[in-house]
Amino acid sequence: MVNNILDTVKVKKPLIHHITNMVTINDCANVTLAVGGLPVMAHAIEEVEEMVSNSQALVLNIGTLTLEQVKAMIKAGKKANSLNIPVIFDPVGAGATKIRTDASKKILDEVQISVIKGNKAEIGILTGSGGKIRGVEAESNDENIESYKNFAKEYHCIVAASGATDIVSDGNTVYKVDNGHSMLGTISGTGCMLTSVIANFCAVEIDYLQATVSAMVAFGLAGELAASRSEVKGPASFKEAFFDEIYNLTDEKLSRGIKVRGEVN
């Protein structure tokens, strides 16, 4: 499953254009560097087309959205589509407010998304199967695999719903990723960082289903390894250890630590 994708990222050093969450923007940049990519955070509507033209993947994250930012996202997304550059969309807080839900649906309708990655509540709200959001955090973690599959088919994209067990589907194949650790929930920004890692993997692997599953394995495994360190006493030391572990990951480590269940329907 991992198929040397991480090592390829480290060799190719893809440029990942982010229009992203201002709360977590530094962590997204640093995790991109840690896995081997190159981050650029360019939000101005006047430059997004030019920037994405020089990039190998585009991240759209509505964590701190404004209407002007949504316009920039759609402009960048359409340019990426014209150049066959993968677009990874994180609908942070969809369902928390009308503007977030409406913005998510507008982006999905106007841009061909390669991968939509959200928590199970966000994905559930967008699929219509339900979910509860408080602020930008999920209150409910229910999963409806059939709705994820139908959503993937409708939008011709990969759906990645994160949680204690991550669910990834292209509409036909469904994978469950069990890698991860509860400590990942003690620091802000892990969802946004995961989106950035997925973008790095999709930048070098055209099979976006495989790239997404592999990225989620890598992220979860780094969390497991960090939490097992003796020096980790709480969120601050865990975050430091996490960055070290994801930086030192290799495809060989991923092959040994992968926890994925799959089915084809």
Q: How many CB atoms lie within 10 A of CB 152?
A: 24
95 is in an annotated binding site: no
189 is in an annotated binding site: yes
Phi, psi of 231 (to 5 degrees): -80, -10
162 is in an annotated binding site: yes
Q: What is the DSSP string of 4-17?
A: THHHHHHHH--EEE
51 is in an annotated binding site: no
SS3 letters for 171-222? CCEEEEECCCCHHHHHCCCHHHHHHHHHHHHHHHCCCHHHHHHHHHHHHHHH
Helix (H, G, I), strand (E, B) or coil at 152: helix
Q: How many CB atoms lie within 10 A of CB 29?
A: 20
Residues belonging to the binding site for ATP are 117, 162
Residues belonging to the binding site are 41, 117, 162, 189
Residues belonging to the binding site for substrate are 41, 189
